[in-house]
Structure 1
C-alpha cells in the first residue's frame, strides 16, 4: 500500500471542496460501487441513449476499461481540480460529437451530446449516488444538506451540454423529472441484454486470476442483488429482472454493515479503488488520504473558464453542430473503450 507521502496533491479544490455535500456523499464507499452500477443500469432504459450504446458496442467491448474510464470521469467532476475537470469536460463533448445515429424503433436521430440525453445521464448518476448513500449508507440527508446537494448537482451539470434550467433543484423536482421521463422509457431485447450485462459486470473489475475468481463471482452476486434492490418494480419488469422482497431486505442489511466497515478504513477503500478502477486512483487518493491541494481554492465554472479561455459545453456543442451542418459525420463512430473519459452514454 502506498504511503500517504507519495500521494500527489491536486492543483486546487475544483468546484466543490471538502465542505460540500457532494464530497460527503460521493466519498462514501457506496458511490463508486453500487451507486455507479445503479447509474449505468438505469441509463439503459432511455431509448436514444441505449441506441448509441448498442451501436457503438460501448458496454460489450472491453467492459472493465469502460467502467474504469467512466468512474474516472465521474470522480474527476466531483473531486478533481479545476483544470482536470475542464479538460475532462472538453474531451467528453468532443468524443460524444462523433456518436450519432438512428434510434431503430422511432426512426429518429440520436446525438450523444443532445442536452436531454446528457441530462438523463447526469441525473441518473446524481440520483443513484444519493439513493444508494441513503439506502446502504448513513441514511437521508437533512433538509439543508439535501437542498445544497441538488444545487451542487446543477453546478456539475455545467460541465455537460445540459440546459441548466432543466436540472431539478429538489427531491420533489427529481421525482417530477422521472414522472416526465417514464412514458419515454422503453425496454427492447437490446435493453434487457445491456441491463443483464451491467448487473453482472462487477466481476470484470477484478484482475483475471484463478485465485480471485471466487471473490469476483461473490462480488458479482452481491452487487447484482444490491442494484436490483434499488430499482422500482416497474423498471425491474421492463428490464426482465426479478428479485424477492426478502432478498431485497437481506442484501440491504448486509451491505449497510459492509459499507459501514469499509467507510472506517482508508486502507480498505484505497485497496478496493486500486483493484476496481486504477484510473480513478490519482483522483480520489488525495481525498481519501486528506492531502490538501497546492491551492486551497474552490472555483466557479465561470472563473475557471475565464482563467483557461475555454468555451462552455453548450458553446462547444453549438460550434460542432454548425460544423456538422457543413460536413456531416458518419453514424455511430466506433467507441471501443480505448478513448479516454467517455461516459456510457
Structure 2
C-alpha cells in the first residue's frame, strides 16, 4: 500500500506562531535569522539574486515562459518571499511540507531554451545556482546596506543554507564564501546578457512592491540591487548603466537598512517565530546579538 501523500501547505494560512514550541530548520542564534529579519536586505538581495538567475538561459526560460511573473509579478514575489521566510523561520514541519509542494511544481516545468537546449526545473545544477544566488544576494545586501558581517559569520550563513537546499534538491550549494566565489567562476561562462533582465527591472520599477514610506525609494533600491553584482558580471550582463549609485544615494539606502535592522516589527516572521519558541519579541534585536558588533 502506498504512503499517504504529503499534505500541501496553503500559503494563505501560514502562521509563524504555530505550532507553539516547534523549532525551525535553523536556530534563532543563526546568522540567517539575523540577516532575513531585515526587509531592506531581503528586497534588494532578492532582486540581485533574480538577475543572476535570469542570466542563466535554462532558468530564464523556465521562469519567463512558464510562470505568471510577467503578468502578475506582485503575487509571485510575495509567494517567493514567503517561501524563503518559512524556510528560515517557520516550524520545520511546515517548511518541509512547503518545500515538498515547491518541488512537485518544479517537477512539472520542462521546456527548451531559445538556443534549443532542453531543461527541466528540477535539474540539480539549476537548483544549485538558484540557491547559491539567493544566499549571495541576501548576504551581500545585508553587508552593503545594513552592517558588515565577519568572514566567519559569512561562512556560517552559507553553511546554514545547506540543509534546506538539499531538501529542495540542491545538494551542491557552497558551504563558505570562497566556495560561493568558486561557483560563480565555474558558471560565469554560461551567463548571458539579455533584454529579459532589463524587462524584469522595468517590471519591478512599475510594481508597487514596497510598503508605506519606502515606496518612493523603490527605484533607488532596485539600482542598489544591480550594484551588488560582481563587477565582471555587471559588465558581462551589460547592466553597468543601471547599477550606479551616487554617494548620497548609497548613504540613504544604508540609512533605511540600519533603521529597519533595529525596528521590532510585531507581525514579521522573525518576531512571531521568536514568540512561537517562547523568546522575547525583541530577541533578534538585542544589541548583543547584532552581527559585526
Confirm whether residue 76 of structure 1 aligns to residue 80 of structure 2: no
Confirm whether residue 96 of structure 1 aligns to residue 106 of structure 2: yes
Relative to the length of structure 2, the TM-score reads 0.80
Equivalents in 2 of 1:159, 1:246: separation in Å?
37
State the partner residue of 1:114. Answer: 123
Equivalents in 2 of 1:189, 1:129: separation in Å?
24
Confirm whether residue 155 of structure 1 aligns to residue 147 of structure 2: no
Per the TM alignment, residue 113 of structure 1 is displaced from its structure 2 partner at its CA by 0.8
Per the TM alignment, residue 126 of structure 1 is displaced from its structure 2 partner at its CA by 0.6
Match runs of 1:180-259 below 5 Å? 180-198=186-204, 200=205, 203-205=207-209, 216=215, 218-243=216-241, 247-259=245-257
Which of structures 1 and 2 has the larger relative contact order (alpha carbons within 8 angstroms, sep 6+)? 1
Equivalents in 1 of 2:252, 2:262: separation in Å?
16
Per the TM alignment, residue 28 of structure 1 is displaced from its structure 2 partner at its CA by 2.7
> Deviations 1:181-237 (Å, cap 9, x if unpaired)?
100111233344234434x26x43258xxxx7x964x23222122112212344334
Confirm whether residue 293 of structure 1 aligns to residue 291 of structure 2: no
> Deviations 1:293-333 (Å, cap 9, x if unpaired)?
379xxxxxxxxxxxxxxxxxxxxxxxxxxxxxxxxxxxxxx
State the partner residue of 1:320. Answer: none
Match runs of 1:51-70 below 5 Å? 51-70=61-80
Equivalents in 2 of 1:147, 1:240: separation in Å?
30
What is the RMSD computed on CA atoms of the aligned residues? 2.7
State the partner residue of 1:178. Answer: 184
Distance 1:51 1:8, change over 3 A: same
State the partner residue of 1:40. Answer: 50
Equivalents in 2 of 1:259, 1:73: separation in Å?
22
Corresponding residue to 2:31 among 21, 27, 31: 21
- Corresponding pairs, count: 264
Relative to the length of structure 1, the TM-score reads 0.69
SS at match of 2:276: coil
SS at match of 2:245: helix
SS at match of 1:119: helix
Unaligned runs of at least 5 residues, structure 1: 1-5, 271-280, 296-345
Distance 1:219 1:111, change over 3 A: same
Bigger drift between 24-33 and 73-82 goes to 24-33
Unaligned runs of at least 5 residues, structure 2: 1-14, 280-293
State the partner residue of 2:132. Answer: 123
Distance 1:94 1:238, change over 3 A: same
State the partner residue of 1:146. Answer: 154
State the partner residue of 1:8. Answer: 17
Equivalents in 2 of 1:237, 1:147: separation in Å?
27
Larger Rg: 1
Per the TM alignment, residue 261 of structure 1 is displaced from its structure 2 partner at its CA by 1.4
